[in-house]
Amino acid sequence: MIAALLLSFGVIFVAELGDKSQLMAMTYALRYKWWVVLAAITVATTAVHAVSVFFGHFLGLSIPTDLMSVLAGLAMLIFGLWTLRGDHLDDDESSKANRVGASVFFAVMSAFFLAELGDKTMLATITLSTGHDWLGVWIGSTLGMVAADALAIGIGAVLGKHLPERTIAIGAAVLFFGFAAWLIAEGLIGASAPAIAATVSATVVIVGLGAFYIHRVHRSEHSTEDAEARPIAR
């Protein structure tokens, strides 16, 4: 078990360096509290690697990841639009900080879970679990990924303290769009024409609805600012 744990830790840690998942972790840390991001990633990683070990060790099977990769890409697209919209809290919303924190936790966890289902580290975990102790592989692979992502989160948290909030939002949105393109492209390699058409259609709908919503929000904010700046007639 110890040998499997150490082997899995080393393999997954090295595989995660420079991977899109690590870049995602750094991006999340630019926008949200580092401990929320780390907790969400730990839960998602534990679940994904449990699935990997189950399929690799107990079933000796590999699962198709094309669909999961496309779904993860669409999730990244939505998250990028959400980030680009910006978060603005009024007095009532500020009093609900715990609820907002919970929503961020589940959003990060679900997005990371989907992204990991189509990632090479999941395939590496499946491969390792076919010939090694399953518990050691599960613990080692989870710790290896969390350690690599914690490193990225630390970098993101430090950068977040030295950059303007709007710059961070735009940069994070661009990275999310990049992740979306990356994941969708991976999922569509060798896909059928109907699958490609459905994915393109879904992408266009998401971008269109997102752009319309962002435009409405920003126009509403500008109208409110103009009304507040207008002198009150006596």
Domain boundaries, the chain: 2-228
Task: Look at residue 226 and tell me whether its pLDDT is greater than 80.
Answer: no
The sign of the CA dihedral 88, 92, 94, 97 is: negative
Spatial distance between the Cα atoms of 13 and 145, rounded to a whole number of angstroms: 5
* Eight-state DSSP code of residue 50: H
pLDDT of residue 18: 66
Q: How many CA atoms lie within 13 A of 98 on its CB side?
A: 0
pLDDT of residue 91: 45
Predicted TM-score of the model (pTM):
0.60
Task: Look at residue 11 and tell me whether its pLDDT is greater than 50.
Answer: yes
